[in-house]
Amino acid sequence: MSKCIITGASRGIGLATAKLLISRGHQVLCLSRTPCPEKEVSWENVDLQRLDENQDLKGKIEKFLDGDKKFSLVHNAGSLKKDSTLNLSSSQFREVLEVNLVAPLILNQMVLPLMGEGSSIIYIGSTLAHKAVAGACSYVSSKHGLVGLMRATCQDLVGRMIHTSCICPGFTDTEMLQTHLGADPEIVKSVAGGVSFGRLITPEEQARVVEFCIENPVMNGSVIDSNLGQIER
Ligand SMILES: NC(=O)c1ccc[n+]([C@@H]2O[C@H](COP(=O)([O-])OP(=O)(O)OC[C@H]3O[C@@H](n4cnc5c(N)ncnc54)[C@H](OP(=O)(O)O)[C@@H]3O)[C@@H](O)[C@H]2O)c1
């Protein structure tokens, strides 16, 4: 049994990952603004947009770890806003970067002094970490940056025997996707039609990829697409 800290395990891919890891006998700490509905998961109320102001978090993480040095940190929380290069304000840009890119750096620096051999840092990127679509400027920029942060993590941790990787999910059936697409079932159908299997991915499928990356140091430094085969047009 080992321990895992997951950002944004209150729903979606993070919650599915927390449930899977709990079912395997691990202990999980969720960092999010709303509680994790899974009773066995410990929860700290954390706004990743304001992590610099959170002076108590390191102590709470230390308490959760209770001296254990082999653990995982999963940077799963994400913020997706509709915005454009043409009109995105610098303050709105910073808000998304804080959650998607700056918070992972701050959390890394918080936990790395506590991390020992066999630990891992897993980033959740996106298909939009490799390519762009219109109307998602801050998200696309932050997810591209996250791949860079993962690669820098890999290089800066040489010799520590801590592995890292960035998983890039495709269209996964969560609140984030539902909110982004809106209520029209035809839009959801057309998005699913862009996947070679003709369906959305489940959060549980993504959770199994996260578990695989946690357990396999050979994945160190890698960017993994988990998109069920997106159809290129
Ligand atoms: N769903 C997809 O199709 C898809 C595709 C590619 C990549 N992804 C990535 O997968 C990851 C998980 O997304 P999801 O689809 O599971 O989304 P989701 O269901 O909307 O969940 C997002 C999680 O992020 C947390 N979060 C957001 N802002 C936060 C903040 N300021 N402070 C703390 N926590 C915050 C939320 O927790 P609280 O609201 O409780 O704070 C929530 O638990 C994200 O990084 C996303 O970019 C998803």
Domain boundaries, the chain: 3-170+202-226
Tell me the β-bridge partners of 166. 123, 223
Atom of ligand 1 nearest to the CA of 128: 6
- Residue 1 is predicted with a pLDDT of 67
Mutation choice for ligand 1 from 6, 11, 101, CB with most ligand atoms inside 8 A: 11
Q: Which residues of the chain have pLDDT under 70?
A: 1
Tell me the β-bridge partners of 27. 3
Q: State the average pLDDT for the chain.
A: 96
Q: How many angstroms separate the CA atoms of 71 and 168, rounded?
A: 22
Atom of ligand 1 nearest to the CA of 16: 16
Distance 60 CA to ligand 1 centre (A): 22
Would you mind telling me the total number of residues written for the chain in this entry? 233
Distance 213 CA to ligand 1 centre (A): 19
- Residue 54 is predicted with a pLDDT of 84
**DSSP secondary structure string, 146-211?**
HHHHHHHHHHHTTTS--EEEEEEE-SB-SHHHHHHH-S-HHHHHHHHTTBTTSSPBPHHHHHHHHH
Mutation choice for ligand 1 from 43, 133, 176, CB with most ligand atoms inside 8 A: 176
- Residue 183 is predicted with a pLDDT of 78
Mutation choice for ligand 1 from 172, 178, 188, 230, CB with most ligand atoms inside 8 A: 172
Helix (H, G, I), strand (E, B) or coil at 88: coil
CA nearest to 8, candidates 127, 100, 137, 145: 100
**Which residues in 33-105 belong to E strands, given as ranges?**
42-45, 71-75
Q: What is the pTM of this model?
A: 0.98
- Residue 122 is predicted with a pLDDT of 98
- Residue 233 is predicted with a pLDDT of 80
Q: How many angstroms separate the CA atoms of 204 and 211, rounded?
A: 11
- Residue 32 is predicted with a pLDDT of 98
Model pLDDT for residues 46-78, shown as the tens digit of each residue: 999 999 888 899 999 999 999 999 999 999 999
User: Which residue has its alpha carbon closest to ligand 1 atom 6?
Assistant: 126
Looking at the structure, give the CATH architecture of the domain made up of residues 3-170+202-226. Answer: 3-Layer(aba) Sandwich (3.40)
Q: How many angstroms separate the CA atoms of 1 and 16, rounded?
A: 18
Task: Name residues contacting ligand 1 (CB within 6 A).
Answer: 7-8, 10-14, 32-34, 46-49, 76-80, 99, 124, 126, 169, 171-172, 174-177
- Residue 80 is predicted with a pLDDT of 97
Q: Max Cα separation, the chain?
A: 51
